Structure 1
Amino acid sequence: MIKRHEYMNSPSRVVAVEVEPAVPKGDNYMSDMIRATMVVRLQSGATVKKSVIIKRVPDSAMVSKVVQENRAFYTEIDNYKDVFPAMERLMDEFGDRGDKLWCKCLDYTPYSQLVLEDLKEVGFRMADRKSGMDMDHAVLTVRSLAKFHALGYVLIERGSFDADRFLPSYMGRNEPRINDMFAGGFKVLAQLMRNAWEPKWASVADKLEVIARNLGDRLHDVIIKDGVKFKVLNHGDCWVNNIMYKYDSYTRRPISIRFVDFQGSHYNTPALDLIYMIYSSLRQDVKRDQVTELLRCYCTSLARWVRSSGHTAEGLPGVEDMEAEMRRLTIVALAMVVSIKPLMKTEGESMEKKEGTFPQRPEMYEDPEIEDILKEDIPQLLANIKL
């Protein structure tokens, strides 16, 4: 009976295919994303519509070179091929019947293409990146991130896979292209502060220019060189556009989550994922008032998932530990606010980059909302940074 049911509902042939971009132009730099919608005839004779996401190396030779240098597709395919199945086995081992935190991988071509489940078909969608995450989205995200971190932590502690297979975070590699992107943002903003903001911002512009001179070294020192006591497998690019949510049909509150785009996964302090999410994606009032509560949610969830996986929770960070770790990484938060946040909030085609570059344009900083965020965040972060 089961075999017959499965046979009758299995595909017989594809009747028609339509393809379209899966994301707006300029929204994804390291890959081309295509949605293929198929009319499929089943063995039963019925026809159904199914869609998949095809993610592949960009056609541009220059961008493709950047992708290869960063091992972006190697990292993501490695996750779907080895790491996520190991996480699923760990969940099964300890009776976790909860949602997976990633989509299904249907096929892959080493190391240039992935065919992925279309999450829109199963009710997931992106939140609005311009408005930012409210507290409901933020709590669900940090709890889910804690589970992802816990699963990777337990597997690495068991020796199930080698953390050295992952490159360091792109922010800490001290590579000229990355340094130019970050330092360029500091220089462009400093010039804008002098030319268009109130006179009191001239002294802040001076500080940004001082930091820009050795920003790559500073990021490398805190991300790569400084001793980190507690490490996990980080998502690596944890911002609102790389997260999809399913919502309760009555309350409209988020109830389930899928992380996407694992091309930047790396092994390091969990504070890097948290800083990335907090300073790229939170609504300003949530970032201002609720970070301690979010860290409490994260630490509680991390301990819960580690213990439920049969591993001791001894040595896991508490809220004060995470706050101290985030203070140590203040320069990372500043780089996010100055050079990445404005780029992320830029819409559509205006976000598209020139081949092989990450240009920092003055107009990115002229949005009134971005200006308000910068004016609130930068002085607070500079207060914790030695020049």
Structure 2
Amino acid sequence: MPEEVPVGPAPGDVAFGHVPDWMDSTFFEKSLRAGLEDPGLRVTGNDVRAATGKGENYVSIVYAARVTTVKKDGERDGKDEEEHHLIIKCLPSNKARRLMSNNAEFFRKEVDMYEMVFPEYKRLAIGRGVTLPWPRHYSTLLDGEGDYLVMDDLRVAGYVMTDRLAGLDPAHLGAALRALAKFHAFSYALQLKEPEVFRTKVYDRFPETMFAYKSEEMMDMFIKQAYGDTADAIREWGEPKHEMIADWMHAVKGTSVRQIIELLSPDDPGAVLNHGDFWVNNMLFRYPSGEGAREPADVRLLDFQIARVCSPAADLSYLLATSITKVVREAHWEALLQNAYHDTFWETLEALGAKEIAKARSSELFTWPWLQSEMRRFLPFALCTSVTTATVVLAESSDAPDMDTMTEDQLLGKDLNNPFAHLVKAKLYQERLRGLLDFFLEQGVFQ
């Protein structure tokens, strides 16, 4: 009889629900020695497990670890042992996912963010009283095969995710917008105060790698299928307005990619470094002490693998399409966009000593009317995000496709057996999509 092929991941594979055998004491010792600049540190124990559930992270496999250490001589500042809580983000072993990640430079971008960009932001903030809304990082590997990042697990300090399926309520949305405003303002301040540093460490290092001319053919296949599947699903709702929208989607699906490529230009006058994947699961919230406190006191941003240089309206549109309900959008979005995002952007520029430079550069850029105009200009990107990304981020864990068995053709939309197609029929997504389509209809997107 033929020998049976082993089922499941190999010992060294990075796959959901499986901890690779190389993630051991030696690995953690090397990472912590580098990040803490302590060559005498010695790991005495480690416990590693999955950090996220199925359907919560599609680009990486994420692990959480509790690691105990002592100094080489057995002492550490008078204590026998010290405990470290870490997050390890890894490049999946699945060949199709690895190819997609390497082509889009996902890990390279996040490594550059932590090793090149954030140190510059930290330098800008010295003595200025501006908090830095991202976690500390310890070590990285970038070789296209076994890429990883090791950083603090902020959950131990009281930071938690909110419910991705419920979306952000007004308090959490305001906190998220303030954190994003700081993130964008750091980028603009660096551009204004040190343009050569911005050019070499930001502009040159964070090109658009998904909606780019070099990947236009691939993205065109993906978008055509997503728009077609969505159009067919909403046509079943039976209302005349949905029939019209379905016809429109089928008509424009062959031109949408070029439109998005042009929108995401890094050469727009107001271009800043965008997060790129700014949705509810890529932020952690911490609450004040005290029973029943539910308004966040602080927020930290995660996952910078799709970072790009373009208008700040890209991140804002992405958040609008993926992370808030119709009720929150209609009652709070406009006010929070102005009071939480726009005001914080200018407050951060002032704290970083760049406000007057910004005003001297342009009397129009980053004014409230300018931001409103940018949001209108980016409505096609918001629609594209609602048709492509929102289907995945709003999926129940039980409905999420198994990314570790996915083929390249399935990821690129070439396979007629599309593992994501059923997600457009999900109850929560259709409920959120109805509200978004009404919003886009009111804004004149389907004309």
Paired residue for 2:295?
253
Counterpart check, 1:236 vs 2:276: yes
Distance 2:142 2:39 in 1: 27
Amino acid at match of 1:329: F
Counterpart position of 1:3: none
**Distance 1:270-1:103 versus aligned 2 partners, 3 A rule:** same
**Aligned runs of 1:125-136 on 2, under 5 Å?**
125-136=160-171
- Tell whether 2:444 aligns with 1:384: yes
Residue number among 160, 166, 178 corresponding to 2:206 in the alignment: 166
Residue 377 of structure 1: how far off its partner (Å): 1.7
Paired residue secondary structure (1:126): coil
Which one of 181, 194, 197 corresponds to residue 146 of structure 1?
A: 181
Indicate the SS of the match to 2:138. Answer: strand
Q: CA deviation at 1:136?
A: 0.7
Q: CA deviation at 1:211?
A: 1.7
1:261 deviation in Å? 0.6
> More displaced, 227-236 or 38-47?
38-47
1:374 maps to 433
Matched, 1:305 2:348: yes
Q: Does 1:342 align with 2:342?
A: no
1:116 pairs with 2:132: no
| 2:110–2:304 CA contact under 8 A, matched in 1 | yes
1:99 is matched with which residue?
131
Q: How many residues align?
A: 376
Shift of 1:180: 2.9
Structure 2 unmatched ranges of 5 or more: 1-37, 413-417
Deviation at 1:60, TM superposition (A): 1.5
Give deviations 1:330-349, integer Å, cap 9, x for gaps.
11111112222121110225
Report SS of the residue matched to 2:88. strand
What is the alpha-carbon distance in structure 1 between the residues aligned to residue 90 and residue 347 of structure 2?
37
- Using the TM superposition, name which of 16-25 and 313-322 deviates more: 313-322
Matched-pair contact (CA < 8 Å) for 1:129–1:281: yes
SS at match of 2:253: helix
Paired position in structure 2 for 1:296? 338
Question: Partners in 1 of 2:221 and 2:329 — Cα distance?
Answer: 28
Given the two structures, how large is their TM-score scaled by the length of structure 2? 0.78
Report deviation, 1:52. Answer: 1.1
What is the aligned-residue RMSD (CA, Å)?
Answer: 2.4
Over 3 Å counting, the alpha-carbon distance change for 1:260 and 1:355 in structure 2 is farther
| Contact map agreement 2:55 2:395 (CA 8 A) in 1 | no
Instruction: State the 1:63 CA deviation.
Output: 1.4
- For 1:322, the equivalent position in structure 2 comes to 371
**Once the two structures are superposed, what CA deviation does each residue of 1:237-292 show, in whole Å capped at 9, x if it has no partner?**
11011111111233221111111111111111000011111211123211122222
Matched, 1:180 2:217: no
Question: Helix, strand or coil: the match of 2:204?
Answer: helix
In structure 2, do the counterparts of structure 1 residues 257 and 11 end up closer, same or farther at CA, with 3 Å as the change threshold?
A: farther
Q: Does the CA-based 8 Å contact 2:179-2:301 persist in structure 1?
A: no
| Counterparts of residues 70-85 of structure 1 (less than 5 Å) | 70-85=104-119
Contact 1:188 1:360 in 2 (8 A): no
What do residues 14-44 of structure 1 show as CA deviations (whole Å, max 9, x unaligned)? 2222211111134222222121222334614
Aligned pairs (5 A) from 1:260-299: 260-297=302-339, 298-299=341-342
Unaligned runs of 5+ in 1: 1-8
Q: Secondary structure at the match of 1:183?
A: helix
Could you tell me whether the CA contact under 8 Å between 2:321 and 2:436 is conserved in 1?
no
2:388 & 2:88 partners in 1: Cα distance?
30
Counterpart CA distance in 1 for 2:54 and 2:390 is 18
Q: Deviations over 1:60-94 (max 9, x none)?
A: 122111111111111111111111011011100xx
Which of the residues 211, 215, 231 maps onto 1:190?
A: 231
Offset at residue 124 of structure 1 (A): 0.8
Partners of 2:105 and 2:209 within 8 A in 1: no
Q: 2:256 aligns with which of 215, 229, 233?
A: 215
Distance 2:41 2:407 in 1: 42
Whether contact under 8 Å (2:114, 2:137) holds in the other structure is yes
SS of match in other structure, 1:254? coil
For 1:198 and 1:280, how far apart are their aligned partners in 2?
25
| Residue in 2 that maps onto 1:19 | 48
Letter in 2 for 1:241: N
Letter aligned with residue 306 of structure 1: L
Q: Give percent identity, aligned residues only.
A: 26
Deviation per residue, 1:157-202 (Å, 9 max, x gap): 21223212211263455533333333322111211233x3124222
- Whole-Å separation in 2 of the counterparts to 1:338 and 1:291: 20
Equivalent residues of 2:248, 2:446 under 8 A apart: no
Give 1:31's aligned residue.
60
Q: Aligned with 2:176: secondary structure?
A: helix
Moved more, 325-334 or 161-170: 161-170
- Tell me by how many angstroms 1:146 deviates: 0.9
Cα distance between partner residues in 1 of 2:347 and 2:61: 37
> TM-score by structure 1 length?
0.90
Q: Structure 1 residues 331-340 or 312-321, which shifts more?
A: 312-321
